[in-house]
Amino acid sequence: MGEAKRTSDTATFKAKVGLEAIRGVKTVNEIGQESGVHPAQVGQWKREIQEGAEGLFAKKRGPKTPEGPGDAEGLYTEIGRLKVELDWLKKVAL
């Protein structure tokens, strides 16, 4: 008797199966049987979608605030790099 191989399901497949379970048209057992997954796994994907749904609407619109002093440091580094590049180009053009 051969051992069963583990499968790695894609995020798209998990979302499709989880959303189908949320709709409630079919039972979790029916969905699991049709998609070839254990019904407990279908229930877990359904629960993950329900818990993560709040994060989709939690983001606020509008201008983003800077994340902190690390953000300014990166900008100063970029400015310095661009100044050196500009000086080099001026020197080459002469």
Tell me the C-alpha to C-alpha distance, in Å, between residue 22 and each of 6, 30, 41, 57. Answer: 25, 13, 13, 18
Tell me the C-alpha distance between 45 and 10, whole Å.
12
Distance of CA 79 to the CA centre of its chain: 31
pLDDT in tens, the chain (94 residues): 567 777 788 999 999 999 999 999 999 999 999 999 999 999 999 999 999 888 887 777 766 665 666 677 888 889 999 999 999 999 887 7
pLDDT of residue 75: 86
3-state secondary structure of 65: coil
pLDDT of residue 64: 65
pLDDT of residue 2: 63
- Only one residue has tokens 């993560």, namely 52
pLDDT of residue 6: 77
pLDDT of residue 56: 80
